[in-house]
Amino acid sequence: MAGFYKNKRIMLTGADGFMGSHLAERLLAQGAKVSVYVRGNSTIGTTQYALKNTKHLENRFEEIITGNIASLDAKELVIKNRPEIIFHLAADAYVPNSFDHPVEVMETNTIGTINMLHALKEGKGIKRIVCTSSSEIYGMTLGGSIDEEHPLYPSSPYAASKVAADRYAYSYWNTYHLPIAIIRPFNTYGPRHTYDVIPKFIELALKDKPLTVHGSGNQSRDFTYVDDMIDAFMIMGSHPKAIGRAVNFGTGKAITINYIAKKIKELALSDSKIIHTPSRKAEVPKLLCNYSLAKKLFGWKPKVFIDEGLRRNIAWVKENQVL
């Protein structure tokens, strides 16, 4: 991978999001020429934007495109940019939002992906697209860990939208023989993450406010630190064996929400109480990654595990956020 991205023209959708911002930093650090697609700000006009996570990179981007990824305009704007590689991360990724806005979430996640696939199909000189899937597509775990052959049982409208996007991507590789790679990240956390359990608990713990656990707290996730996941994106965008593959990336460790609450409270030196409320709708009891395919194909393996990742995350929040 050394030197692969130098001077490569990259289009990064969802660049101002959590993982997108980290990927933008890594690509720029490796000498890529990065253009980004971000959602327009309706309060100041849809052609304008207000960067949050990538404001510090704004002057380094080749082009900043704004708009709705689910609009047909998105395809034409990306084709006009003439990228060599597309990293497609744009998504409505907050699962509870899909309970009340299932159609809106479907449009962003599924139609947005189809638009990017057609940009690849109709554009000139695009050598690869990396489509971002999700561990949520698996739903209920059968047995221990989840490999890529595990059945897909989406338990929320969000998960269903990502299943559709994932399988559309695969079908376009299979039907049109396009250079498509599908990355399936398990629960990723780290600096700049603002939703989901870890960032919420860190914020509350540092304010000594109660940590609210839905249900028993015995539900578990495979929490993967963002640096490891960005390594995975970089591999999926460059390695020849990634084409035509859907590949899981995670730690292979199932961590309960109870453990997360207790460990964050401990590391933050917090006086927060841990309280339990009724279970959340469409809750998946367990998500545990089998990353053996990623290890076999690419030699990838995680380097940062939960205690160290939480330490880093808490330190970053203390340094960068006004609490």
Q: Which domain holds residue 94?
A: 9-191+225-251+290-303
- Determine, yes or no, domain membership for 211: no
Looking up residue 114, the CATH number of its domain turns out to be: 3.40.50.720
Confidence at residue 281, expressed as pLDDT on a 0 to 100 scale: 76
Burial of 71 from C-beta contacts in 10 A (0-12 / 13-18 / 19+): middle
- Residues in the chain with pLDDT < 50? 43-45
Confidence at residue 163, expressed as pLDDT on a 0 to 100 scale: 98
What pTM value is reported for the model? Answer: 0.94
Neighbours of 211 (CB within 10 A): 23
Work out the angle between the directed axes of helices 257-267 and 306-320 (0-180°, nearest 10).
Answer: 50
Confidence at residue 44, expressed as pLDDT on a 0 to 100 scale: 46
- Determine, yes or no, domain membership for 32: yes
- Determine, yes or no, domain membership for 30: yes
- Determine, yes or no, domain membership for 261: no
- Determine, yes or no, domain membership for 272: no
Confidence at residue 49, expressed as pLDDT on a 0 to 100 scale: 74
Burial of 285 from C-beta contacts in 10 A (0-12 / 13-18 / 19+): middle
Q: Phi/psi at 130 (nearest 5 deg)? A: -105, 115
- Determine, yes or no, domain membership for 97: yes
**Strand ranges, E, within the chain:** 9-13, 33-38, 64-66, 85-88, 128-132, 180-185, 188-189, 211-214, 220-221, 224-225, 246-249, 255-256, 274-277
Confidence at residue 41, expressed as pLDDT on a 0 to 100 scale: 61
- Determine, yes or no, domain membership for 94: yes
- Determine, yes or no, domain membership for 294: yes
Number of domains in the chain: 1
Structure tokens at 49: 């934007």
